Structure 1
């Protein structure tokens, strides 16, 4: 595709939009549709575009903006707040998948270097896709959502380090290897020092003036990311490393959120060309062999990756439900896996057929994992009994007699639950709070509130609670199915006190009332009514 082929560009964009619409109707990520369009318009299909030229340039810009945003939004605080579980699951899954994936690749007849690339590519999960799906399901703030985002950050850091190592040492050979290594470290130190000096003395003052114009802020962000990426490539580290460092250098500034929000749309548009390029580069000369290997690797990613996360989280005594929901998020490979494969091809380490294999695995696992995440709760209801046999959360339970003097048992110490606990204790009530986030339990320091670790879906956990003494059980958890399980457990244990449950929709509220819950709280409805009364009074006044 040449720059002057304006009608051809328009046709490709229109086709991408149409395929994107079809993907959304099938509840699939747009990545799948865009790679499909690349196959259709590439040499294998209609032969409209080539993988290089204009498409290749726009694809490289898309990768640079993507890695710039990853560095810009690098939130190490989130990794710290999710505790050791983020590091354990992130690194544990990377090690497990790399080792087992390498052994599988060798059994399939791949050479050592190819097997290493395939194994490493299988380890990383897509932050973009997972965050989007969890956000749509309103599960980012739940425990499994925060843990998933935590270990995804760990994986992003690992993949950047891998790319740094590959670009730095990938082409080093000859008799002067020690000298080459020393030169690489010197160049790397120089690059890091330069970026650090910009962070300390230049960027904060410069951004203060640039940010006066939002359009100029966006232009500066892109120009800075591409410039550092180009400098990094000239030093032999690859443009990806430079773009990431550029984002990291702007992360401490107060303008990172505004800049990141404005660049998201540009990132999504430019990444379209990266996925088009991938599709155009796919080769099907050895389709039979690729399909066999693709099926094996896809099953491994769809089953093995979630399994290792579930095992690690159960060993760390997280509830089976939390481990299962967090584990399903890693059942696909990432856009970074595709970037890594392209990098390996550019360095001459792997051939086009291997890139095609990794891309096919990406298509299959991204499509399959989307449905796994969307229907995760239904799947858990089918497998919950089997997983509960291996649940080790009993190690966190308190003895039944340890909390006898309570008036209210409150499930959930989130924003709404914490405020409610404060109001109840201020009114003189003794509260026993139950939450399945061990960090919320550990941080609780409210007078009159005793916090214990437990899950609302663990029927056996109710045996440890002083149900006979509690006058009321309150659930601030807005999940209808979780509340139904809790209500069933209370009745199974012949609880006679009051029940107060929370609902975020009228449908859920109606079902809870039909199940004879004493009081259903609808926070959004109450807030809207209170706001309406205040506005009405203000307008009349």
Structure 2
């Protein structure tokens, strides 16, 4: 069987996803579950119909970039600044609590101190994809809940980038302090460059040719990926660059047209992302990692909503809003999988510790998706009265 062909791989992924998605809809299950299960089934540790998922994982990363770009398009800069300043305490305090939780559980299972620190670091973050993918656009526009979710996730992204910089610096034997200083100094410069480029180049040419929709589509993709690559080059993440690219044109009337036209492209790549998550997990190691992964998952799924709930109430947020934000952020992040990959590749953690992080991420992805889809408004809710795009 030609499992090296990209076309054949796409055929298996999207035909299989269509089949499993149909079954999921009839049985009232979240679609994300279908994509992850399909990856585990067809991937190199399942039926091996798709032997190498590295290329697919790289391609699927574009979906995360588009997701953050569309998120930026839906945010007003003035609102964002206010929400970030308000949620700074929440982001920092919750990260410390979750890191301590992961560290002590890892120590209890006899992982080394360094492995426990890295496992704890991986537990700090909530999933940008789950948090925003299951958040209706109407929430971002009209409800305070969406702004809280987004601001907390953005702060976590900054913390995640700092963790990744330290891991990368270990890999490259460079000074982590120098890299971190360069990245932090580059952020305001990148924002200024993006704002000037939009004001004097991007918006003028878009407005001049706004009747040619294909051209607007191309410029939007080029602007998103260009700033993402520039952000990556200066030591930040492509996701941060994509978000800046979106928010710099959020005040333009063209923003909503771009957001609508890019959604199908975003969903295409996100299906690949969730497939690669399932396919990358080595099922033969499940017996060795399932107990610590289950403990970490259960504690995270219970602790995260409670922590966010109490921190938000401390900031005088309503009880219902605090619980909803907590449950929407009640999982581990795709950043955690990246941390596991990098730390394992540099031999800072062993294979078992890496797969504990991966298994915990996948378990919390699945359970959290069920919780949100069955209880809160989302684009893929199983009941009609909760389904909002």
Q: TM over 0.5, yes or no? A: yes
Q: Deviations over 1:119-169 (max 9, x none)?
A: 343343345545665659x9x49xxx9454233112221233134334545
Q: Deviations over 1:14-39 (max 9, x none)?
A: 11111222333444332222122111
Larger radius of gyration: 1
Cα distance in 2, alignment partners of residues 72 and 344 from structure 1: 33
Q: Is the 8 A contact 1:329 1:369 kept in 2?
A: yes
Cα distance in 2, alignment partners of residues 179 and 316 from structure 1: 35
Q: Deviations over 1:232-280 (max 9, x none)?
A: 3444444334333333333343322221222121111111112222222
| Alpha-carbon distance, 1:5 to partner | 4.9
Q: Which residue of 1 aligns with 2:94?
A: 93
Cα distance in 1, alignment partners of residues 338 and 176 from structure 2: 27
Secondary structure at the counterpart of residue 126 of structure 2:
coil
Higher relative contact order (CA 8 A, sep 6+): 2
Q: Deviations over 1:415-447 (max 9, x none)?
A: xxxxxxxxxxxxxxxxxxxxxxxxxxxxxxxxx
| Alpha-carbon distance, 1:320 to partner | 4.8
Cα distance in 1, alignment partners of residues 143 and 196 from structure 2: 33
Q: Does 1:218 align with 2:191?
A: no
Identify which range, 35-44 or 218-227, moves more after superposition.
218-227
Identify which range, 176-185 or 50-59, moves more after superposition.
176-185
Q: Which residue of 2 aligns with 1:10?
A: 11
Cα distance in 2, alignment partners of residues 230 and 242 from structure 1: 7
Secondary structure at the counterpart of residue 29 of structure 2:
coil
Alignment of 1:98-113 (within 5 A): 98-113=99-114
Q: Which residue of 1 aligns with 2:382?
A: none
Q: Which runs of 5+ in 2 are unaligned?
A: 377-384
Q: Which residue of 1 aligns with 2:158?
A: 161
Alignment of 1:15-34 (within 5 A): 15-34=16-35
Q: Deviations over 1:176-196 (max 9, x none)?
A: 677666655666666455334
Q: Does 1:283 align with 2:320?
A: no
Cα distance in 1, alignment partners of residues 347 and 29 from structure 2: 33
Q: Which residue of 1 aligns with 2:246?
A: 247
Cα distance in 1, alignment partners of residues 45 and 320 from structure 2: 44
Q: Which residue of 2 aligns with 1:362?
A: 361
- RMSD across aligned C-alpha pairs, in angstroms? 3.9
Given the superposition, is the C-alpha separation of residues 304 and 359 from structure 1 closer, same or farther in structure 2, using an over 3 Å criterion? same
Q: Which has the higher strand share?
A: 1
Q: Is the 8 A contact 1:127 1:149 kept in 2?
A: no
Given the superposition, is the C-alpha separation of residues 298 and 236 from structure 1 closer, same or farther in structure 2, using an over 3 Å criterion? same
Q: Deviations over 1:266-322 (max 9, x none)?
A: 111111112222222212343223101111111112211111233334545666555
Cα distance in 2, alignment partners of residues 108 and 302 from structure 1: 19
Q: Which residue of 2 aligns with 1:58?
A: 59
Alignment of 1:63-78 (within 5 A): 63-75=64-76, 78=79
**What is the number of equivalent residue pairs in this alignment?**
374
Given the two structures, how large is their TM-score scaled by the length of structure 2?
Answer: 0.78
Q: Which residue of 1 aligns with 2:307?
A: 308
Q: Which residue of 2 aligns with 1:296?
A: 295
Given the superposition, is the C-alpha separation of residues 50 and 283 from structure 1 closer, same or farther in structure 2, using an over 3 Å criterion? same
Cα distance in 1, alignment partners of residues 345 and 132 from structure 2: 30
Q: Which runs of 5+ in 1 are unaligned?
A: 378-504, 506-541
